[in-house]
Structures are given as C-alpha cells and as structure tokens.
Chains A and B, each alone.
Chain A
Amino acid sequence: MQRVYLDNAATTRVLPEVIDAMLPCYSEVYGNPSSVHSFAQDAHKAMDESRAAVARALNASSPDEIIFTGGGSEGDNMILRGIASAYKRKGKHVITSAIEHHAVLHTLAAMEIEGLVEVTTLPVDEYGLISLEELENAIRPDTILVSIMYANNEMGTIEPIREIGAVCKKHGVLFHTDAVQAVGHIPVDVQADNIDLLTLTAHKFHGPKGIGAVYVKKGVRLPAMILGGGQERKKRAGTENVPGMVGLATALTLQMERMDDVSAKMRCLRDKMIANIAENIPYVKLNGHPEKRLPNNVNFSIKYIEGESILLMLDLNGIAASSGSACTSGSLDPSHVLLAMGLDHETAHGSLRMTLSEFTTEEEVDYVLDLLPKIVKRLRAMSPLYKED
C-alpha cells in the first residue's frame, strides 16, 4: 500500500545530510565541551559553529543571543516563567492570543493561578488574525510581555509579526514569539521584526527531536530555568546536547539555503489541494487565512462528519494526517484554535489538517485528492446530520 505522510506540522523526517552531520558527534566528537582536553575543544567548536549558524539564520546580532533548549515547549516555559520573574518589579501583566500553543496557554494559566501573572488573551478574527488595535489597547503601564505566535500550528495563519513588534517597541514592552512553525519555513528576521524573544525547535524543520533554541535579545534579562553548571551562559545547566545542536544548525542552514525553491513547490501543491477540495467536496470550509498562510498547511472543516473517523479512513489507506477533533485531543472539546476563530463545535470536530513537506510529491497529492471525496461520501452516508440533496 502507498504510504503518504501529510503530518509535517506534527514532526518531520530528518534530512540525510543532518544525520550525516550528527553521527560523528556520537562516535568521534563526543567530548564534554566543558572539559579542558582536545576532545572537549572539538565538541566546543561544533557547538560554537552551530550557535553561530542559528544566529545567522534568524539575523540575530550575536551568537550569544542563542540559547539551546530541549525543544519548543521548554523554550516557551523558560521564557514565560523567566520574564515574569525578572520583570516583576515593572508588573505582571502579560498579553497573549487565544490561538497560542498549549505550551504558552497552559503555562500562563498555571502562572496565573500561582499569582505570578495577570493575563489578557486577545481574540482572533475568522482567519485567526489578531488585531493590532486591540493589542495596543490592551497594553498597560504594568505590561511586561506580549507573547504572540509567528504562525499557527493548526490552520497555518501567519500573524502580522513585524507590526506587532513595532507596537511593542513603541510602548517599551518585551515581545516574545513562538516561532516553532515558522522558522525554517518562512523568512524570520528578529531585528527587522522587532522580536525580543523567540522560540524554535529542530524537529519541525527536518532536524532531530529533543533540541530547540531560544533567541534572547542582548539586554533582555532572562534568569536560569535549570540550575547547575554554567552551560548556555548559565541559563540552562546540563551537559550540552552537541549532536542535537549540530543537527539543528545543519537542518536550519539547509532550509535557509533552499527556502525559496521548497516553499514555492509546497505552495503550489498546497493551492492545488485547497482548490481541488473546495471544488470537489460540498460543504467544506477552509480554515485559516487563504494567503497569509504557511506554505505547507491545508486545513478544512468537513461538515457533518467527525475528524477522527476521517483520519482513520485515511490511515487505513496509508495516509497520515491530523485533526482538531476532540477525539484526537483526549478531551471532549475540539481545538481551541478553531473555536477561537468562531467555528461551532460540530464544524470544529470535523476538521482535517494536512501538512506537506519538500518530500511530498504531486503523485501523492493526487492519490489523496482522489480518495478524500470517496471517504467523505462514505462517512456522510452514515451521518444522521447529513441529508443528501
């Protein structure tokens, strides 16, 4: 059976060049960078080069602004908790959006219960965009941080980051962006975008799992989250994951070099899928912004049927996708992102996300586009909500 992987927003296949770059870090360059000997120096060099590569990819002004982490969720936790602690004299007001990843929303909710922050959650419009006017109105004298994601993981909408950065700069408020879905996929420039803090993770752009990084602009105070040794400028103790750092940097460098070609190809396949589904399946709704959208994201609500049953049918035919239905989240509520965009529960339960990568072929897309209408028809025939015209 043909197998088609369309869940690249969840995680990606590691590029062979990345594996090739990582392997010597296990077998040859395995020294602890904190030691004195030549084994350590080799490892330190690999680490320094990786840090410099990440800084270049983000247009950071110095490699010192990059701190490696264990991934996206850790980065978000580190920044939210760290900034609230370091800037508590100024205040404890934090502004975020209703469509953030749970790594941001659940962390802020826990901190609010602990009395560490007061949170204003900005709504989004039907496309998932926040309003700059509402953001500006929400800023108070005691606002210490604005945390808005670069691009949404579920429906792919890209937020007006540069404009958000400008508003924050104007009011002297720190700006953090969870750029986990954006880095390596669309151009991100921390200086031009007025970003003070940023989170990224390697496995979303064909790097290894368990390694990420945060960008912390020079002058921004971020206390240590893990105490111990002096690694990562004393902000994250623990012997460094050098193979992971090399893997992250190699993947990101490759992505930056090929970004124009890869994203043009994905955009083409994405738009083919969107047009085809909208034309061939009745009662569907594209979720997310039609243009301000990640090049690899297709997300539809398919009315009258439920997401998990679509996923199962696709999986039985070798196709891997995902859904914002409750049945895939382990709770009774469907995706908070789709609900925030104004979808009713029923429509949110019937969402289908297909996320492409550079490995996705037109043949695979055609296979999915041929199969999907049949699956939808079959499930609708079973649905008490659907009445055939």
Chain B
Amino acid sequence: MYTEKVLDHFQHPRNVGELENANGVGMVGNAKCGDIMQMFIHVNDDGIIEDVSFKTFGCGAAIATSSMATEMIKGKSVDDALKLSNEAVVEALEGLPPVKIHCSVLAEEAVKAAIDDYHSRKNAEAK
C-alpha cells in the first residue's frame, strides 16, 4: 500500500525531535482526526531555514510526509519554503494512497504555520 520511499521515511524519519533554538514553531491537525504535526524551524539572519525538525502523532503517511517536508525546506529561503506544495511532497515520496493525501496537505500546512510563527515573532521584535 505504501511506496518504498514512504516506508523508508517512516522507518528512518529525518529531522525528528524538537529544535532548541527554533524561532518558528507551527502545529496543525487535531487528535480527533488522528493526525497532529508540529514543525520547528530556525531561520538565520539571511532568511534561510538553517535547521528544521518535526514531531508527529499519526499514521505512517503522516510521519513520512512530515519527514520529507523537512528535507525539502532545509537550506531554502523562507519565501521558497512557502511555495512547498502538498503535491510536491507526494511526488517526492513517489505517491501516496488516495486516503492519505490529506497527510501531505497537513505537512504543507505545518511548514506554513511554522513560517507564520517566525514572521509574527519577527514583527513583534520589530515593534
């Protein structure tokens, strides 16, 4: 049911855990639906996502999409990371079963939520 790539990211998730020096944290999903994703980013002064990590409560696809999303935005500028689409995550995982597409949507939303948090913290500092 899952591709090799999904199983690889499920078994060996990249960038798991909490980032101590995170300056953007986003959490999406809810326990009722069975998926919660938390994304931590550290953005440097040049606006580059220097480090990223995740924590996920969810199925195999939820864990794999979070892991893949962290790989895809690491080293990217915040503006580029905002362009990450759920389709791109699905493609990078070489496909997901139709009922699991919502997991990739959640991964996209988690990235956006972390970046939103980064922006609002920055704006708060500027004031």
Q: CA of A334 to CA of B56 in the docked complex: distance in angstroms?
A: 18
CB-CB < 8 A to B100: which residues of A? 327
> In the complex, A316→B64 CA distance in Å?
15
Please state if B33 and A385 are interface contacts (CB–CB under 8 Å).
no
Decide if A326 touches B33 in the complex (CB within 8 Å).
Answer: yes
Considering the chains assembled together, what is the distance between the CA atoms of A307 and B62 in angstroms? 12
Given known A306-B62, A312-B60, A316-B7, contact A383–B55 (CB-CB < 8 A): yes
A316 engages B63 (CB within 8 Å) = no
A316-B7, A326-B33, A385-B31 as given contacts; A306 in contact with B59, CB under 8 Å = yes
Neighbouring A residues of B105 by C-beta, 8 Å: none
Cβ-based interface call for A141 (8 A): no
Residue A381 is within 8 A (CB to CB) of chain B in the complex: yes
Complex: chain A residue closest to B57, CB-CB = A383
Range class of the A interface residue count = 20 to 34
**Any chain A CB within 8 A of the CB of B99?**
yes
Chain B positions within 8 Å of A115 at CB level:
none
Interface residues of B in 8-40 (CB under 8 A from A): 10-11, 13, 16-17, 27, 31-38
Interface string of A337-353 (1 = CB under 8 A from B): 00000001110010000
Determine whether A308 belongs to the interface, using a CB cutoff of 8 Å to chain B.
yes
Would you call B59 and A381 a contact (CB within 8 A)? Answer: no
B95 sits at the interface (CB 8 A): no
What is the distance, in angstroms, from A388's C-beta to the closest C-beta of chain B? 11
Cβ distance B13 to chain A, nearest Cβ, rounded Å = 7
Cβ of B58 within 8 Å of any chain A Cβ, yes or no, is: yes
Contact A309 B60 (CB under 8 A): yes
How far, in whole Å, are A72 and B63 apart by their CA atoms in the complex? Answer: 36
* CA of A345 to CA of B35, assembled, Å: 11
Q: Does B59 contact A308, Cβ atoms closer than 8 Å?
A: yes
Contact yes or no, B38 A384, CB < 8 A: yes
Contact A346 B56 (CB under 8 A): no
The answer to whether A219 has its CB under 8 Å from any CB of chain B is: no
Q: How far, in Å, is B22 (CB) from chain A's closest CB?
A: 13
Does A304 contact B57, Cβ atoms closer than 8 Å? Answer: yes
Q: Closest residue of chain A to B58, judged by CB?
A: A306
Q: For the complex, what is the distance from the CA of A305 to the CA of B58, rounded to whole Å?
A: 7
Q: In the complex, what residue of chain B is closest to A328 when comparing beta carbons? A: B59
A137 to chain B, nearest CB (A): 32
CB-CB contacts below 8 Å: B73-125 with A: 99-100
Q: What CA separation (Å) do A309 and B13 show in the bound complex?
A: 13
- Point out the residue from B11, B34, B37, B59 that lies within 8 Å of A316, measured CB to CB: B11
Interface residue A132 (Cβ < 8 Å from any Cβ of B)? no
Partner pick for B63 among A304, A309, A344, A349, CB 8 A cutoff: A309
CB atoms of B34 and A327 under 8 A apart: yes
Instruction: List 13 additional contacts besides A305-B57, A345-B31; criterion CB under 8 Å.
Output: A306-B35, A312-B7, A325-B59, A327-B58, A327-B59, A327-B61, A330-B99, A345-B32, A349-B34, A383-B56, A384-B36, A384-B55, A385-B31
Residues of A that sit less than 8 Å from B by CB: 304-309, 312, 316, 325-327, 330, 332, 334, 344-346, 349, 381-385
